[in-house]
Each structure stands twice: as C-alpha cells, then as structure tokens.
Structure 1
Amino acid sequence: MNEDQFREFAREGGKEGGREAAQEVLRALGVDIEHPFEAQKDMHFLRDLRKGTSSVKGKLVSTIVGALALAGLYKLLSGIRWGA
C-alpha cells in the first residue's frame, strides 16, 4: 500500500466515522434522520415559534410601560383642579 492509497483509506474511514457519530448525536437529540425534510420542517417551526414568542414579549413589555405611563399621567393630572 503506497502513501496515496493510505491517505485515501484514512480519509474514507474518517468520513464514515464522522457520519456515524453525527447520526448518533442527532438520534440522541431526537431528530428523525430517516426523514430529513420532516426534521427540517420541525426546525423551521421552532424558529417561527421562537420569533413569535419574542415578538409577543416585546409587545407585552410596551403595553405594560404604556399603561404605567398613562396611570402616572392620570395621577398627575387628577391632582390638578380645573377651573378652581
């Protein structure tokens, strides 16, 4: 076996080992490696869910800050007597 054949043998062995390790890790994480398009759809769903949750969180914080500002303004203006 010459040096080029040895390198090719090592390269193929590394690829096979890496492929098996990646499949094992994905399986351990619960990813269905037999149906990659379904797994990809699941990842898209999770991304959309994360972005949607973040959007709702931002709107909720804005609403609370607005309500507190409005309550403070009401309290300030209710202390002023109009025309008295």
Structure 2
Amino acid sequence: MTEDEMREIARLGGKEGGREGAWEVLRALGVDTEHPLEAQKDMHFLRDLRTGTTSVKVKFINTIIGAFALAGLYKVFSGVMWTP
C-alpha cells in the first residue's frame, strides 16, 4: 500500500467520522436530521421571529420616547398663555 493510498483512506475515514459527529451534535440539539428541509424551515421561522420581535421592540421604544416627548412639550406649552 502506498503512502497516497493511506492518505486517501485516512481522508475518507476522517470525513465520515466528522459527518457522523455532526449528525450526533444536531440530534443532541433537537434538530430533525431525517428531514433536513423541515429543519431549514424551522431555522427560517426562528430567524423571522427574532427579527420580527426586534422590529416590534424598536417601534415600542420609539413610541414610548415619542409619548414622553409629547408630554414634556405639553407641560412646557401649557404654562405659556396664548393671547390672540
């Protein structure tokens, strides 16, 4: 057996071992490895959920800041008498 043949066997063995280890980690994390397209759909859903909640959070914070700004302006201008 030549050195190149031994390298090829080692490369293939390492590749197979890495693949098996990756599948075990995915299964341990609860990913359905039997249906990879469903797992991809789940990941897309989680990404959409994350970005959606971030968007809602930003809008909520902006609304609160706007409400406080309007309350402050009302307080400032309520003390000013408007004369025609």
| Deviation sequence 1:44-66 (CA, Å, 0-9, x none) | 00010011001001100110010
Distance in structure 2 (CA, Å) of the matches to 1:15 and 1:42: 27
The answer for unaligned runs of 5 or more in structure 2 is none
In the other structure, the counterpart of 1:60 is 60
Report % sequence identity: 73
Equivalent position amino acid for 1:61 in 2: I
TM-score by length of 2: 0.96
Give the alignment's Cα RMSD to 1 decimal: 0.6
Distance in structure 2 (CA, Å) of the matches to 1:36 and 1:53: 26
Distance in structure 1 (CA, Å) of the matches to 2:40 and 2:80: 61
TM-score by length of 1: 0.96
The answer for unaligned runs of 5 or more in structure 1 is none
Runs of 4+ more than 4 Å apart: none
In the other structure, the counterpart of 1:29 is 29
| Deviation sequence 1:19-67 (CA, Å, 0-9, x none) | 0110011011100000000000000000100110010011001100100
Aligned length: 83
Equivalent position amino acid for 1:66 in 2: G
Distance in structure 2 (CA, Å) of the matches to 1:17 and 1:49: 34
SS in 2 for 1:54: helix
